[in-house]
Chain A
Amino acid sequence: MLKSLHIDPMKCTGCLQCEMACSYEHHGVINPSKSRIKVFSFEHEGRKVPYTCTQCSDAWCMHACPVEAITLDAATGAKVVSESVCVGCKVCTIACPFGTINYVSDSGKVQKCDLCGDNPACATACPTGAITYVDADWTGLDKMRQWAAKANTAVAAE
């Protein structure tokens, strides 16, 4: 079963445990500035939104890369950057419509979410269930369940 990161901004408190976990997983340090998932805070609306790569099937970054440094991990569906091949040209960062692949000045390469080899550290670290790793074909399952529950109540009320 292919899985996807599923994000529910309504559950996010903005604690940044996900950013810390991501940076530790990939860089061995606690450093949100190196995280591949980013929590945005919209202060005046009181909203926090975690945002990261959604692993497009037909990925702009992959097509744009002139040296084929971005490849598909068939097991997870992740589009993975090969650091040894990447030349740091940043064309992928322009091609990506969502901004979720980014240049790292320390390494001179780009980085993006690779789903941690099928065990995303951000989802494990999230204390509220705002970030989960679920069946890719059923990312809407929880919402469907919620609406289904309401439908039942409505019937019962009549």
Chain B
Amino acid sequence: MGWNRKVLRVNLTTGTCSTEPLNMAWADKYLGSRGLATKYFVEEVDPKVDPLSPENKMIMTTGPLTGTMASTGGRYSVVTKGPLTGAIACSNSGGFFGAELKFAGWDQIIFEGKSPKPVYLYLENDKAELRDAGHLWGKTCWETEETIKHELHDPQVRVSSIGRAGENLVRFACIVNDLHRAAGRSGVGAVMGSKNLKAVALRGTKGVSGIKDFKEFMKVTAEKKKVLADNAVTGQGLPKYGTQVLMNVINEIGALPTRNHRDVQFEEASKISAEAMHEKRPTDGKAHLVTNAACFGCTIACGRISEIDKGHFTVQNNPKYWGASGGLEYEAAWALGAANGVGDLEALQYANLLCNEDGMDPISFGATVGAVMELYDLGILTAEAIGVDSPFGSAAALARMAEMTARGEGFGKELGEGSARLCAKYGRPDLSMSVKGQEFPAYDSRGIQGMGLTYATSNRGACHLRSYTVASEVLGIPVKTDPLATEGKPELVKAFQDATGVFDAAGICVFTSFAWTLADIQPQIQAACEGDWSLEKLNEVGERIWNLERQFNLAAGFTAKDDTLPPRLLKEPAKTGPAKGLVNGLDKMLPEYYQVRGWTPEGVPTEETLARLAL
């Protein structure tokens, strides 16, 4: 059956834990994880709720394939209302935490209320216990994980925690598990911090036994692993180069946002690329990259494990950063690097380590630094105000701002508000490269037109993981489309958005979609889960999830006016590269997108659409 059919509800206000059966009627309509938890969330939470108030809830959730031998079946999601955006937030993480939750016998944990004092949840199979976390408050994610393992006398415990960023309610704080995997975006870590919940520690020894047809499941998951192994992207490119393989590619097509999107190509891109991570450094003769690594059950293994240059100015007096650790992935390398014009790979890794250590989303953090550097460039912010000289390209400024934000010191408190609030405060809201308050990831929508529509309509604010049309527009997966054209993009974006919802809801990694389509996932779900899971049904589940999230956002106060891009992308043409002279053609795509979605011209799902999706 895939699901454990068991939900843990933790009331942090009263300090009580209770068990309830999973709503299987909802599971049949929303599958799991992102879909199912969002259904729970919208049923239980007022859309107008202040994200950082006790009335907001936070759900840690798994899918039916989480904790199984389906490749990449280790994902879990955190669903809540995001403090960065005020929209529905669903942040997804790999590592080993999600599978452990399944092994302990649960599908999801619903956190509600606010604890009067710092606590952490310890879950050992059926036993759930809130424990004092007073001694953990003020500690980093790394220290928290180590301390919890030590005090529970159990090195096999899996921990998700917030660092100081989450405690300080940094609006892009994330929840870090297994040292360097994170539910990264939209500030889910700040929600956890607002609840005085420091960590969740899991130990599960029950395993997953409820697969509907085990024999068929083992057979089909083995076949589908072979599909991943035989594919050039998932079988070769990602394991060898990681997501960083994109740095030079995206730069070449003129879609690498540089210096807060002033430029679309970065002259030092090759210095912060995957290839650079493989090269031996002149300083110590070692390559930055140590090895690749897999999350639970993943046969792709795109993760990067690196060793920073011990002699680099950022860490030369700080041996705790000298060991192997996670990074750099493409999004982080871009946000910490090109977005700020910084071409110093070691400095990027240092900032990335601080993001992992204290739980910050490197995309939103890096992009916020980019906005600050532009405000500095324009003379609106001074070195005195920021605390450091902050011209574009300054590795020292990047490192210092990462320290300040992670620790909540000085100007770091302003950085922790994210670029939208910060730029508005200094009178230049137009300089925040964000949608619905969330910063762009690493693709400039002048050079990849479909990504403009993706960002504008993403239910959790600007994001590449809601419809990765880069796959089609740049890599030709599943079919090649012209990145500079707007024609056909509304249908493309809708198709990607709906399919991605299913990948997320199933509990597997969206990176499998470089090789798999829904037709590859369908038989895996069919073998694991009770009920009839046809391709048509899965498509409908994806579309239903998208519309459910949209309805929540509309009820939260968002309108079609929020489905837009910053003026820079709509008015300032790209200066170089294949997209030179182009702006994003959102006005050509958006009305058609609403139509394709079955929404009114105001972006509201019609009665017909809602009825068709049984919403």
User: Restricting to B189-239, which residues have a CB under 8 Å from any CB of A?
Assistant: 204-209, 211, 214, 218, 225, 229, 239
Select which of B69, B179, B209, B293 is within 8 A of A20 by beta carbon. B69
* Interface contact A125-B209, CB-CB below 8 Å: no
Report Cα–Cα, A50/B338, bound state, in Å. 38
Q: A16-B297, A31-B103 are in contact. Are A45 and B324 (CB under 8 A)?
A: yes
* Interface contact B291-A46, CB-CB below 8 Å: yes
* Nearest A residue (CB) for B142: A43
* Interface contact A15-B69, CB-CB below 8 Å: no
* Nearest A residue (CB) for B298: A15
Select which of B71, B206, B218 is within 8 A of A31 by beta carbon. B206
Residues of B close to A128: CB separation below 8 A = 301
Residues of B close to A23: CB separation below 8 A = 207
* Nearest B residue (CB) for A16: B296
A24 interface residue per 8 A CB criterion = yes
**B367-401: contact bitstring with A at CB < 8 Å (1 yes, 0 no)?**
00000000000000000000000000000000000
* Interface contact A44-B323, CB-CB below 8 Å: yes
Q: A31-B103, A46-B307 are in contact. Are A24 and B218 (CB under 8 A)?
A: yes
Q: How far is the CB of B349 from chain A (nearest CB, A)?
A: 13
Report Cα–Cα, A47/B208, bound state, in Å. 27
* Nearest A residue (CB) for B302: A13
Q: How far is the CB of B318 from chain A (nearest CB, A)?
A: 14
Q: How far is the CB of B149 from chain A (nearest CB, A)?
A: 12
B290 interface residue per 8 A CB criterion = yes
Report Cα–Cα, A31/B99, bound state, in Å. 10
Report Cα–Cα, A41/B305, bound state, in Å. 12
Q: How far is the CB of B534 from chain A (nearest CB, A)?
A: 25
Residues of B close to A48: CB separation below 8 A = 293
Residues of B close to A13: CB separation below 8 A = 239, 292-294, 298, 301, 303
B84 interface residue per 8 A CB criterion = no
User: Restricting to A38-65, which residues have a CB under 8 Å from any CB of B?
Assistant: 43-48
Residues of A close to B179: CB separation below 8 A = 43
User: Restricting to B150-191, which residues have a CB under 8 Å from any CB of A?
Assistant: 156, 179
A127 interface residue per 8 A CB criterion = yes
Q: How far is the CB of A111 from chain B (nearest CB, A)?
A: 14
B77 interface residue per 8 A CB criterion = no
**A5-46: contact bitstring with B at CB < 8 Å (1 yes, 0 no)?**
000000001111100110110011111111000000001111
Residues of B close to A15: CB separation below 8 A = 294-299, 301
Residues of A close to B204: CB separation below 8 A = 33
Report Cα–Cα, A24/B207, bound state, in Å. 10
* Interface contact B294-A14, CB-CB below 8 Å: yes
* Interface contact B205-A127, CB-CB below 8 Å: no
* Interface contact A32-B229, CB-CB below 8 Å: no
Select which of A14, A33, A43, A47 is within 8 A of B103 by beta carbon. A33
* Interface contact B296-A46, CB-CB below 8 Å: no
Q: How far is the CB of B201 from chain A (nearest CB, A)?
A: 15
B457 interface residue per 8 A CB criterion = no
Q: How far is the CB of A68 from chain B (nearest CB, A)?
A: 30
Residues of A close to B603: CB separation below 8 A = none
* Interface contact B103-A46, CB-CB below 8 Å: no
Residues of B close to A44: CB separation below 8 A = 323-325
Q: A28-B214, A43-B323, A45-B324 are in contact. Are A33 and B307 (CB under 8 A)?
A: no
Residues of A close to B290: CB separation below 8 A = 45-46
Report Cα–Cα, A30/B527, bound state, in Å. 15
Report Cα–Cα, A151/B305, bound state, in Å. 31
Residues of A close to B292: CB separation below 8 A = 13
Q: How far is the CB of B18 from chain A (nearest CB, A)?
A: 25
Report Cα–Cα, A33/B125, bound state, in Å. 12
B68 interface residue per 8 A CB criterion = yes
User: Restricting to B555-602, which residues have a CB under 8 Å from any CB of A?
Assistant: none
Q: A24-B69, A46-B290, A127-B299 are in contact. Are A31 and B208 (CB under 8 A)?
A: yes
B257 interface residue per 8 A CB criterion = no
* Interface contact B301-A31, CB-CB below 8 Å: no
Q: How far is the CB of A100 from chain B (nearest CB, A)?
A: 17
Residues of A close to B64: CB separation below 8 A = none
* Nearest B residue (CB) for A25: B218
Report Cα–Cα, A8/B9, bound state, in Å. 43
Residue of A16, A21, A23 with highest tally of chain B CB at under 10 A:
A16
Report Cα–Cα, A21/B222, bound state, in Å. 11
Report Cα–Cα, A88/B130, bound state, in Å. 34
Q: Which A residues are within 8 Å of any B CB, using their own CB?
A: 13-17, 20-21, 23-24, 27-34, 43-48, 125, 127-128
Sorted nearest first, the 10 A-B pairs with minimum C-beta distance are A31-B207, A46-B324, A44-B323, A15-B294, A13-B301, A13-B294, A127-B299, A46-B290, A46-B305, A33-B205
Q: Which B residues are within 8 Å of any A CB, using their own CB?
A: 67-69, 71, 96, 99, 103, 156, 179, 204-209, 211, 214, 218, 225, 229, 239, 290-299, 301, 303, 305-307, 323-325
13 pairs across A/B with beta carbons < 8 Å? A14-B293, A14-B294, A15-B297, A16-B297, A29-B207, A30-B68, A30-B211, A31-B206, A33-B156, A43-B324, A46-B306, A125-B69, A127-B225
